[in-house]
């Protein structure tokens, strides 16, 4: 089961962490040295996604930490940095990092609480504490659901919610919920379809 949770960590991390490169390009047309570090950090993270070379994660962490010295970039840094902690299975440092960052520095208001509970779930799973693991996962899902109740078309939040629900619902109900969500919000069809493929791949790998 721990292997399965780490697989979810990868899906959740990549869903929330890899869209930042283009966003940074749009916002920052004139690069400072810290913005260069940010670009390189996200580039290393994307390289890991393509190559699975763990040295890219180490490089990404170093670059993102260097970029953090420019405080007005934190909104772009925090999710990729948490992504690196998740992908390296550094649960305690990741939890400490999440606690150290103001919730307003996360790009969406629910993310600090979501990551806090998700990292707790991974920790409890490693300790084979099923009760607290499931309780933490439920809290993580509820953070996203509350946000989506007033922002139902937020693509990143949709990805977060269904990635997390993979561990709170049977697969049949999960995919049924996805279908219902698309019927209710047709604009979500593309993101839900891509996420469905990713989650099916994770489930297949976890069964191997």
The answer to whether 115 touches 82, Cβ cutoff 8 Å, is yes
Confidence at residue 52, expressed as pLDDT on a 0 to 100 scale: 86
The answer to whether 9 touches 95, Cβ cutoff 8 Å, is no
Residue scoring higher pLDDT (66 or 164):
66
Whole-angstrom Cα distance, residue 162 to residue 159? 6
Confidence at residue 206, expressed as pLDDT on a 0 to 100 scale: 61
Confidence at residue 147, expressed as pLDDT on a 0 to 100 scale: 95
* For residue 29, pLDDT beyond 80: no
* For residue 79, pLDDT beyond 70: yes
Mean pLDDT across the stretch 18-32?
48
Hunting for tokens 């989650």 — which residue is that?
A: 199
Q: What is the pLDDT of residues 30-54, one digit of tens each?
A: 458 899 999 999 999 889 888 889 9
Separation in Å, CA 93 to CA 107, 135, 168 = 21, 21, 25
Q: What is the pLDDT of residues 114-131, one digit of tens each?
A: 999 999 998 998 899 999
Confidence at residue 65, expressed as pLDDT on a 0 to 100 scale: 96
Confidence at residue 25, expressed as pLDDT on a 0 to 100 scale: 45
Q: Which CATH number covers residue 181?
A: 1.25.40
Give the chain's mean pLDDT: 84
Number of domains in the chain: 1
Percent of the chain at pLDDT > 90 equals 50
Would you state the structure tokens that stand for residue 176, as one six-digit string? Answer: 């049924």
* For residue 64, pLDDT beyond 70: yes
Would you state the structure tokens that stand for residue 85, as one six-digit string? Answer: 């902690």
Q: Which domain holds residue 78?
A: 2-207
């Amino acid at each position: 089961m721990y292997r399965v949770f780490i697989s979810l960590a990868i899906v959740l991390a990549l869903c929330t962490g890899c869209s930042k490169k283009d966003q940074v390009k749009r916002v920052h047309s004139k690069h400072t040295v810290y913005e260069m570090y940010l670009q390189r950090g996200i580039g290393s993270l994307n390289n890991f996604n393509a190559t699975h070379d763990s040295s890219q994660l180490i490089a990404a962490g170093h670059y993102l930490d260097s970029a953090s010295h420019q405080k007005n970039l934190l909104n772009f840094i925090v999710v990729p940095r948490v992504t690196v902690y998740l992908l390296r299975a550094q649960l305690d440092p990741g939890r400490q990092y999440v606690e150290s960052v103001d919730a307003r520095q996360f790009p969406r208001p629910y993310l600090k609480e979501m990551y806090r509970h998700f990292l707790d779930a991974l920790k409890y799973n490693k300790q084979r504490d099923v009760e607290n693991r499931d309780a933490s996962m439920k809290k993580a899902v509820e953070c996203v659901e509350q946000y989506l109740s007033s922002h139902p078309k937020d693509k990143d939040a949709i990805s977060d919610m269904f990635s997390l629900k993979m561990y709170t619902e049977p697969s049949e109900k999960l995919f049924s919920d996805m279908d219902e969500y698309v019927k209710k919000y047709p604009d979500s069809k593309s993101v839900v379809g891509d996420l469905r493929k990713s989650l099916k791949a994770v489930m297949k790998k976890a069964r191997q």
